[in-house]
Structure 1
């Protein structure tokens, strides 16, 4: 059985993990990405509009944690935190520890963003 996500896929989608040459803000949690830190940079074209999204590695780790437990994990940029929590709640019975692990990563993300 294939995976189905209820949104349009981008026509172009490229992810890289460069080191920041200057300070950036994470598009997911708003925390600082300091110069010298690695981060995920995504370039995509959605409905003809190009966007570049910078994501800190803590948010990437939370996304990857949920994806490791839920292979058909549908998420969207700029809404990653809510997608992770919602999916973890939905699959918490089938994947013991998923919800706790997601909350733990979420709290670390929120704490970091407040700093």
Structure 2
């Protein structure tokens, strides 16, 4: 899929797809419950620390896509910290 290097973090996304939840999950970014029957974005990848899996609600995923299109580097589990930094004018 592609590699991303943000703030020294090497990340290779192996799979990224929209899934319909068969059971409840928790969004890795905002913590919202992803209910059974809802769609979510699932990522599987590898970092220098090993394999990872991330489940993201579609709202957070769309915010990530928008920020990346504006040139921001968004790391997993760091979306809302980045949004706060942007709002404060720190980045």
- TM tier, shorter chain? 0.7 to 0.9
TM-score (norm 2): 0.78
Partner Cα distance (2:38, 2:53) in 1 = 18
Q: Which structure 1 residue ranges, 4+ long, deviate > 3 Å from structure 2?
A: 87-91
TM-score (norm 1): 0.63
Normalized per residue, which structure has more strand?
2
Q: Which has the larger radius of gyration?
A: 1
Q: Is 1:43 the counterpart of 2:44 in the alignment?
A: yes
**What are the residue-to-residue correspondences of 1:27-106 with 2, within 5 Å?**
27-68=28-69, 70=70, 72-87=71-86, 89=89
Give, in angstroms, the shift of residue 28 of structure 1: 0.7
Give, in angstroms, the shift of residue 12 of structure 1: 4.6
DSSP-derived class of the 1:9 partner: strand
The number of equivalent residue pairs is: 86
Partner Cα distance (1:12, 1:62) in 2 = 18
Give, in angstroms, the shift of residue 87 of structure 1: 3.7
Taking a change above 3 Å as real, the CA distance of residues 14 and 35 of structure 1, as seen in their structure-2 partners, is same
Give, in angstroms, the shift of residue 79 of structure 1: 1.3
Provide structure 2 residue ranges, at least 5 long, that are not aligned to the other structure. none
Normalized per residue, which structure has more helix?
1
Coordinate RMSD, CA, aligned: 2.1
